[in-house]
Amino acid sequence: MKKDIQNRDDIAQLVTAFYDRVRTDDVIGFFFTDVIPVDWDEHIPVMVDFWENTIFHTGTYQGNPMAVHIRMNKLHPTNAEHFKRWTELLTDTVDQMFTGEHATLMKQRALSIANIMQGKIIENKLLPIKPR
């Protein structure tokens, strides 16, 4: 029987399994191998910090994921299919390993993050701020 995501160790296992799938994925893997070759020993702990903060509000993540994805988009344009695939892989990995409130929250946050990034990066839905 699967358990819920309970702590950093659970998140580390999940993030590692997710990126094992991402690396070899036909749709998005090249972003991590060719566009921006990833140092996995460095990237995995950062992503664990990100998700630990996202799920448990630990304050462990201090980065700017939007800036990283904007830079990546300039090197190779992303599209809706890329965001959809990232979300599918993450959701499927969570479902394979965990069930419960935190597992559901992680999937919801992943979808929200993907939608926000897609809107800001691809669809350029940022509204201009007009001075008063």
* Ordered per-residue pLDDT tens for the chain, 132 residues: 899 999 999 999 999 999 999 999 999 999 999 999 999 999 999 999 999 999 999 999 988 888 888 888 888 989 889 999 999 999 999 999 999 999 999 999 999 999 998 888 876 544 444 444
45 part of a folded domain: yes
Residue 19 vs residues 31, 89, 126: alpha-carbon distances, Å? 12, 9, 29
- 19 in Cβ contact with 43 (< 8 Å): yes
The C-alpha atoms of residue 99 and residue 1 are separated, in whole angstroms, by: 9
Domain that holds residue 68: 8-122
127 part of a folded domain: no
12 part of a folded domain: yes
User: pTM score, two decimals?
Assistant: 0.88
DSSP line for 32-81: IIIIS---HHHHHHHHHHHHHHHHH--------HHHHHHHHHHHS---HH
Report the CATH number at residue 14. 1.10.490.10
132 part of a folded domain: no
131 part of a folded domain: no
96 part of a folded domain: yes
| Count of the separate structural domains present in the chain | 1
